[in-house]
Amino acid sequence: MRVLFIFNLAVTNPLFLELVQRLQNEGHSVLVYDFISAKIYDPLTETTSYLNSYWWAPWVLKLKYIRRLFIPIINRKCISKEFKPGDVVSVHYVHEEYSLYAEQIKQQGCRLITTFWGSDYFRATDKQKIAYQPLLMYSDLITMVEGVQSIFKEEYPEYKHKIRTTYFGLKLLDVIKNVKEEDIALFKQKYQIPSNKIIISIGYNGIPEQQHYKLIEAIKSLKDEHKSAAHLFVPLTYGGTLEYKGQVKALAKELGLSVTFFETRLTDIELATMRCASDVVVNIQKTDAFSGALSESLVAGNIVIVGDWLPYDVYDQWGVKVIRTDEDSVALHLNNVLECINGLEETCEKNKQLVLGRLTWDSTLKLWIKVYENLN
């Protein structure tokens, strides 16, 4: 099977690249095209080059005011030259410009699969969603996580028969399973984390959409005995400006709790150990479709509190227990959890096994191959 991925390389995502690599490891031929910049990405060398061997392409695409005129020309030539009958063309992280090429891709005899990650759909404007129409019309199948499906079906009822469920696997789950108590102890020693406190993690990156200010206000409202028993994790590794992160740090330091800020990239082992070192995770970000970080936290044995507006119904379908809250009740739920945290171990263990059974790459890769090979 030959899979041609259409993906905007400006949207960096290690889970997508992991899918590419795992398909290659299974013996499938995989190419990654970026139709926004008119470049091709080589997963083996991790380098980019221009799509075709036109001597003028690198030169003309450097011209700021006319490059946009030439990119569609290069892309169309690429489709006619490179795309073969029977190829699977897999669109990831949907962009309205991909609709320009959908009909030509089908005319080449390719199967067209469109995948919404979640943020590309939830943050799309009405104008963008109208522009998606040709892409969706020519797509053989449209894949997404369950959290997007109910809204998608309301807005595009004519395409609901094309919907299939796919997930990216979470490589970190296998690492989390192997974290030992002595690993956690060494991690706490390295980052000067108290060994006898309940650790609360707020958010999982440094973007303002995580609503750190409201999370910090909730921590501030905890009962005094709970604040003195708690330590705060604030992951700020990815996203966000230095100014915003500085404001978050300043506010968190005023809480009177001990706090650890994570600002530099962690290795997989350190990230897995951080998840396991935590006890409670709170996520009230504004929009999301499905959070890999939360699933990792569930496998690490965390109690998870999430905004009740976030589309995490899939956890209910799996039997996973998370605590839902509105923006004004975060402190209430945190206080309740801290009151009875020792009695929640059985629930945490059950959550761990339920998520492990669905989100390892062994499970999710089978779903992708099933979609690509047109197996119902």
Give the tens place of pLDDT for each residue, 198-207. Answer: 999 998 899 9
- Predicted confidence (pLDDT) per residue in 316-333, tens digit: 889 999 999 999 999 999
Q: In this predicted model, which residue has the larger pLDDT, 123 or 251?
A: 251
Q: What is the pLDDT of residue 225?
A: 93
Q: What pLDDT, on a 0 to 100 scale, did the predictor assign at position 3?
A: 95
- Residue 90's H or E segment, with its range, is strand 88-92
Based on the number of CB atoms within 10 Å of its own CB, is 136 exposed (0-12), middle (13-18) or buried (19 or more)? buried
Mean pLDDT of 236-262: 92
- Report, as an integer, the average pLDDT of 305-313: 90
Q: How far is 342 from 117, CA to CA, in rounded Å?
A: 36
Give residue 118's pLDDT. 84
pLDDT at 317: 87
| 255 in Cβ contact with 227 (< 8 Å) | yes
* HSE-CB of 110 using CA atoms within 13 angstroms: 28
Residue 44, both tokens: 């083996």
Q: What is the pLDDT of residue 55?
A: 58
Average pLDDT on 285-301 reads 88
Averaged over 183-199, what is the pLDDT? 95
Checking if the pLDDT of 375 tops 80, the result is no
What is the mean pLDDT of the segment spanning 348-360? 93
pTM of the model: 0.76
Q: How far apart are CA 277 and CA 280, in angstroms?
A: 10
Mean pLDDT over all residues of the chain?
91
Task: Give whole-number Cα distances, 3 to 33, 109, 273, 335, 362, in Å.
Answer: 11, 13, 35, 50, 19
3 state DSSP class of 237: coil
User: Is the model's pLDDT at 196 over the cut of 70?
Assistant: yes
Q: How confident is the model at residue 65 (pLDDT cuts 50, 70, 90)?
A: low
| Dist CA 170 CA 174 (whole Å) | 8
| Better pLDDT: 355 or 70 | 355
Whether 61 shows a pLDDT value over 70: the answer reads no
- pLDDT value of residue 372: 95
pLDDT at 312: 87
Reply yes or no on whether the pLDDT at 172 is more than 80. yes
